[in-house]
């Protein structure tokens, strides 16, 4: 069993900037030479999250609208009062989604569904370049 850690950097727009990183993860997997195992995908930073979705135009609109409904950006949060940076909503959204997921792979291929892609979301009120940590464990 091997453990290989790699990094990928992606730029994302502010306020729910969504980036499909499926191709990046698959490309790094092929470079590792591993065939069977799991990859942990972790986004660094307290205002980013990662999940899987069907990466299509409707969901690219629905996701930001969903987060705006459940954690509005125009509400004053305690974090904003403490730091004055106006991104309390960003931290709450990121903590709800979470910073990591685990995806299995077999025969050197990610075991994702036909319409399932890996995305990162930048919830911050500023555009960011996000560092994504990929930890592959396998044979």
pLDDT 10s digits, 47-98: 999 999 999 999 999 999 999 999 999 999 999 999 999 999 999 999 999 9
What total of structural domains would you count in the chain? 1
Q: What is the CATH number of the domain that holds 118?
A: 2.60.120.460
* Average pLDDT of span 85-112: 98
* Average pLDDT of span 20-49: 98
Report the candidate in 92, 113, 112 with the shortest Cα–Cα distance to residue 104: 112
pLDDT of residue 37: 98
pLDDT in tens, 33-43: 999 999 999 99
- Mean per-residue pLDDT of the chain: 98
pLDDT of residue 1: 93
Sequence-ordered alpha helix ranges (H) in 21-103: 22-32, 57-70, 78-83, 88-97
Q: Checking phi first, is residue 17 left (phi over 0); if not, alpha (psi -120 to 50) or beta?
A: beta
pLDDT of residue 81: 93
pLDDT of residue 63: 98
| Predicted TM-score (pTM) of this structure | 0.96
Report the candidate in 20, 25, 23, 34 with the shortest Cα–Cα distance to residue 6: 25
Q: Residue 20 belongs to what domain range?
A: 2-138
Residue 94 burial (CB count, 10 A): 24
Instruction: For residue 48, give every residue at least 6 positions away whose Cβ sits within 8 Å of its Cβ, in sequence order, or none.
Output: 12, 94, 99, 120, 121, 122, 123, 124, 128, 130
């Amino acid at each position: 069993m091997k453990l290989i850690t790699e990094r990928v950097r992606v730029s994302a727009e502010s306020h729910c900037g969504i980036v499909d990183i499926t191709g990046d993860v698959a490309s790094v997997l092929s470079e590792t030479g591993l065939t069977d195992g799991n990859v942990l995908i972790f986004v660094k930073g307290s205002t980013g999250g990662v999940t899987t979705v069907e990466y299509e135009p409707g969901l690219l609109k629905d996701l930001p609208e969903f987060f705006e409904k459940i954690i509005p950006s125009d509400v004053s949060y305690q974090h904003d009062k403490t730091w004055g940076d106006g991104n309390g909503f960003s931290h709450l959204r990121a903590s709800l989604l979470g910073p990591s997921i685990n995806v299995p792979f077999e025969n050197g291929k990610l075991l994702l569904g036909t319409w399932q892609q890996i995305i990162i979301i930048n919830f911050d009120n500023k555009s960011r370049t996000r560092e994504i940590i990929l930890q592959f464990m396998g044979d």
